[in-house]
Amino acid sequence: MRLLNGCNTYTLVPMRVVEIGQNNCDEVPYGDDGGKRVNTDNVSQSQLSNELLDIDDGISVEEKRFQKEPVKLVIAFLMLVLSAVINLLALAWIHDRVPASSPLPDLFFRIFPHFPRALDFSEYFILFNSLAMFFLCFIHKYRWMVLRRVFFISSLLYLGRSVCLLVTQVPVADTTYVCSPKLNVTTIAVVFSRASHLFFGVGLNISGRYTLCGDYIYSGHTVVLILAYLVVKEYSPTRFWIFHWITWLVSLAGIFCLLISHGHYSVDVVIAYFITTRTFWLYHTLADSVCFKEYPQHNRFSRAWWFMLFQYMESNAGCPIPKIIEWPLSWKRCKKILNLPTRYMY
């Protein structure tokens, strides 16, 4: 039996009638635990995954779409490192160009009192959400794909942030913050020295290495807080609703602490929110559709500068990644890897 999935043709073996809906991905298991968008009688998810084959390759659709592809993961990670370095170089260069004037008018600053120490709390919230996000990636069945997407989207966000830092500098928002002395001439050696100093502090104030000013539009703190929540919400089952609420509340608290500390202007947070959410949603909309990748001439989003990289990264995807939790270090798996004798099982 031949099935048409958007732009690809598949076949079912052995002969068994399966009712297929109209959505592109209806024949692929999806949902909180692999889910069931397929209407079958007494057919388990594993049986269905094994029976749904690509007629060209003869392998299961699930196996083809959700491959590990470690090379792509490494490339995405290197892209993130490169974008982070560019971001730090931009900050090191603009430090001497920050206007020495009073802070800009800000509605949030007028309403709420100034509490400088709240910046540290905000960064602890960032660490919490980041750890929660990476823990989810660790226990997700398709952890390689999820991590690859996190790295790739983060690299896009930080590259965009670097451009914003370079084109517009605004006065320091926190009048109590002590910036490093400015230099009359900013040499390449000085820029690289500053950037390397910041790199090992991961760009956080609590590291004690963050003394440069001008790091405003748009907020990197907000990017990390919101991205972590979006990843947790996207890739964890709905039964993890407490986990979702915790990361959402932590994100909200982190942004609030960031603003009352005057670590960022309100506009920095607003811009970061819109750019982060829209980039995340756009990427996943494109990744979940086969036709958006195979027929770019009908896709206006294909005009994005990163679209060719996206095509490479998501060449095998075409449906949402199932929200399946799978502990990677089970005893059976460790035994198989280490080739332990059977007696060690007891």
For 200-209, write each residue's pLDDT tens digit. Answer: 766 677 766 6
Together in a domain, 258 and 124: yes
Banded pLDDT at 333 (limits 50, 70, 90): low
Residue range 125-140: average pLDDT? 94
Instruction: Decide: helix, strand or coil at residue 110.
Output: helix
Together in a domain, 24 and 84: no
Q: Is residue 96 part of a domain?
A: yes
Count of the separate structural domains present in the chain: 2
Q: 237: which 2 tokens?
A: 């089952």
Together in a domain, 230 and 97: yes
pLDDT value of residue 65 = 66
Residue range 211-239: average pLDDT? 92
Together in a domain, 163 and 293: yes
- Of residues 264, 284, 288, 298, which has the active-site annotation? 264
Listed residues 65, 84, 103: the one ending a domain: 65
Listed residues 45, 65, 85: the one ending a domain: 65
Q: Is residue 143 part of a domain?
A: yes
Instruction: Decide: helix, strand or coil at residue 244.
Output: helix
pLDDT value of residue 259 = 96
Which residue range forms the structural domain that includes residue 239?
A: 70-313
The question of whether 221 is a catalytic residue gets the answer yes
Together in a domain, 156 and 267: yes
Residue range 5-19: average pLDDT? 43
Together in a domain, 11 and 154: no
Together in a domain, 152 and 170: yes
Together in a domain, 189 and 172: yes
Residue range 223-252: average pLDDT? 95
Length of the chain counted residue by residue: 346
- Of residues 96, 140, 215, 268, which has the active-site annotation? 268
Together in a domain, 61 and 75: no
CA distance 328 to 316: 23
Q: Is residue 340 part of a domain?
A: no
Q: Which residue has the higher pLDDT, 223 or 209?
A: 223
Contact present, 212 and 88 (Cβ < 8 Å): no
Residue range 142-167: average pLDDT? 94
- Of residues 95, 221, 262, 284, which has the active-site annotation? 221
pLDDT value of residue 232 = 96
CA distance 254 to 236: 22
pLDDT value of residue 205 = 73
Q: Is residue 318 part of a domain?
A: no
Together in a domain, 207 and 274: yes
Banded pLDDT at 57 (limits 50, 70, 90): very low
- Average pLDDT of every residue of the chain: 80
Predicted TM-score (pTM) of this structure:
0.79
Together in a domain, 309 and 269: yes
pLDDT tens digits for 187-196?
888 888 888 8
Q: Is the pLDDT of residue 325 over 50?
A: yes
Q: Which residue has the higher pLDDT, 328 or 344?
A: 328
Q: Is residue 53 part of a domain?
A: yes
Q: Is residue 86 part of a domain?
A: yes
Q: Which residue has the higher pLDDT, 258 or 208?
A: 258
The single-letter DSSP state of residue 13 is: S
Together in a domain, 35 and 128: no
Q: Is residue 214 part of a domain?
A: yes
Q: Is residue 331 part of a domain?
A: no
pLDDT tens digits for 94-107?
988 888 889 999 99
